[in-house]
Structure 1
Amino acid sequence: MSESIDIDVDGRTVAISNPDKVYFTKRGETKLDLVRYYQSVAQPLLGVVQDRPLLLERYPDGASGKSWFQKRVPKSAPDWLHTVEVSTPNGTTSDALVAHDLAHILWAVNQGCLGFHVWPNRVRDLKIADELRIDLDPSPGIGFDDLKQAAVLTRALFTELGIDSRVKTSGSRGLHIYVALQPNWDGYQVRAAAVALARELERRHPDQITAQWWKEERGSRVFVDFNQNAPHKTVFGAWCVRPKVGAQVSAPIDWDELDTVVPEELTIATVPARLAERGDPWAERPPQSIASLLEMSERDLASGLMDAPWPPQYPKMPNEPPRVQPSRAKKGE
């Protein structure tokens, strides 16, 4: 391995050890290539993730090696790193890295971070969620064309409600739709809005879209994963590189590109030139209101619908149905 090099960024010097270590085997991109990628997309990246806590997915030997999730910044970290105390659903706390500037991102890359999972909150007020995130989940039997059609239908509903939405590839097999929010609602309210959205989409398009949490009830339909908005949940960050041998990027795209985009081709080798040519598809995202979705949620509950099931690691919530898949539920439960 070559000796470390120093990168000057944001008034800091970030040492990059073993810069020639291969991180992505398909084309042989190295740790330094990953650093250069993040430098090339720094402006739009920070426009989305700046001042948010990060959950780090570490692959010290590259995308083909062993990995783990790291919630806590190690004690050996430099004293200039910004951290913030965050908590899990059961109340366990940890000091998470904050995406304060590009120097923080590059420090994490040097630690072997090949995945940044981003909170929907900013450090100035961790109770407020200022993004609604819709994860269109490719269930068994669902292809990318199905996801694209579901994305178009989701956008149409948002537009009908006067809500501006943006789309990105997940960096894997899915699509993510984001809405920048006015800083008025906490994670419980944003999740309630996402549940209402998913249920309305299922009502309108029952053969294509489902809001059913239990996999056995989904069939061959696109699942709108509302629980990605549950408090303390993170979603893979926009402009961030997936731990895949092809170095695929979770890339923001324009809505008019949805028909032609090939997610596997959006990599650290192609995205910088694409950004230089087309600009940032997520530039100038105006903060939106979810009042209409919360009214829809209230109507659903008033009509007798219970809350949707929560993920298993969360405590039992008020008005939540039994947390057991229907085929195993006892009769009358």
Structure 2
Amino acid sequence: MSPRTPPLIEVEGRRLALSNLDKVLYPGPGFTKGEMLHHYATTADPLLAHLRDRPVSFLRFPDGVEGQRFFAKNLPPGTPDWVRTAEVPHTEGVQRQVVVQDLATLMWAANLVTEFHTPQWRDGSPGQADRLVLDLDPGPPATVVDCCEVALWLRERLAADGLDAYVKSSGAKGLHLLAALRPTPSGEVTAYAKRLAVAAERALPQQVTHRMTRSLRPGKVFVDFSQNAAAKTTATPYTLRAQPTPTVSAPLTWNEIESCTTPTDVTVEAPDLPSRLERYGDLLAPLLDEKSAGTLP
């Protein structure tokens, strides 16, 4: 018996074969690949805005969240010739990566079963960051509730430096704080972010560490400043994550951060997104507005 031919759909004039739509990717809730593709299709407008002009790295989990995962920056095999690519400098030389500019490319990439990760700079200006990111990662028994307390302290510190902070769930255990910048060398942004992390540790020594050393992290929130480096990437807003349930790296309101008492208060799963977008729109839209961009002190 021959294998079933994947259904063909047309997206913006491109014919795509979407395969294994009934495959269960998240066994706990029974969330399927078809539901994953639906998530990406229905969140395409804000997701594409945050993917635009940024070379993409993929975390792929084609056999589901309990199967093998692999992180790839290079072009996936069989990348269509109509997919935009960019030359990206790496330590081993220039490498071509996908740039997701349109719905057809998004659905083609989502069919590979992916998380989307992007740098803090845009194609054409590698190493010139237009946003700052702080990754708040709780070391058990600390949880995202502790991250919320640290996020509030960092928001005030950023405001004192003239920068407006926005927040999203990481989609895993913690939070991401972001601020829009006028293009700034990534090294300078990393140095500033490290100063913030050190300041947070000094102000909240029982709650925060700025060092990655594993032995220092239990019970504390690690303020990871390193994702501002030009070679690093962060989970793109609205991407699904390879967690036990279909969690999303989703924008949050500061009211949600202030009132957080349990991890579920700031956990967003794919089925939650349509109502959140209807209620709030894209909470991270100011990051895309050049008028909102600040400068480092």
TM-score by length of 1: 0.80
Which piece of structure 1 moves more, 277-286 or 171-180? Answer: 277-286
* Aligned ranges 1:1-333 → 2 under 5 Å: 3-88=5-90, 90-113=91-114, 115-183=115-183, 185-217=184-216, 220-258=219-257, 259-260=259-260, 262=264, 265-285=267-287, 286=289, 287-292=292-297
Identity %: 35
- For residue 269 of structure 2, what is the amino acid of its counterpart? T
Could you say if the C-alpha distance between residues 122 and 7 of structure 1 is closer, same or farther in structure 2, counting changes exceeding 3 Å? farther
- For residue 246 of structure 1, what is the amino acid of its counterpart? T
CA distance in 2: counterparts of 1:81 and 1:29, whole angstroms: 28
Structure 1 residue ranges without an equivalent (≥5) = 293-333
Residue pair 1:134, 1:178 contacting (<8 A) in 2 also: yes
CA distance in 1: counterparts of 2:93 and 2:28, whole angstroms: 39
Query: Whose relative contact order is higher, 1 or 2, with alpha carbons under 8 Å and at least 6 apart?
Result: 2
CA distance in 1: counterparts of 2:243 and 2:145, whole angstroms: 22
Structure 2 residue ranges without an equivalent (≥5) = none
Could you say if the C-alpha distance between residues 215 and 74 of structure 1 is closer, same or farther in structure 2, counting changes exceeding 3 Å? closer
SS state of the match for residue 67, structure 2?
coil
* Post-superposition offset of 1:256: 0.8
- For residue 102 of structure 1, what is the amino acid of its counterpart? L
Could you say if the C-alpha distance between residues 28 and 220 of structure 1 is closer, same or farther in structure 2, counting changes exceeding 3 Å? closer
Which piece of structure 1 moves more, 198-207 or 127-136? Answer: 198-207
SS state of the match for residue 177, structure 1?
strand
CA distance in 2: counterparts of 1:263 and 1:232, whole angstroms: 32
Could you say if the C-alpha distance between residues 159 and 26 of structure 1 is closer, same or farther in structure 2, counting changes exceeding 3 Å? same
Larger-Rg structure: 1
CA distance in 2: counterparts of 1:167 and 1:264, whole angstroms: 11
CA distance in 1: counterparts of 2:203 and 2:218, whole angstroms: 16
CA distance in 1: counterparts of 2:77 and 2:216, whole angstroms: 45
Query: More strand by proportion, 1 or 2?
Result: 2
CA distance in 1: counterparts of 2:38 and 2:161, whole angstroms: 40
Kindly tell me the number of residue pairs found equivalent between the two proteins. 289
* Post-superposition offset of 1:141: 3.2
Residue pair 2:248, 2:269 contacting (<8 A) in 1 also: yes
TM-score by length of 2: 0.89
| Cα deviation digits, residues 283-324 of structure 1 (max 9, x gap) | 2334432321xxxxxxxxxxxxxxxxxxxxxxxxxxxxxxxx
Cα RMSD of the aligned pairs, angstroms, is 2.1
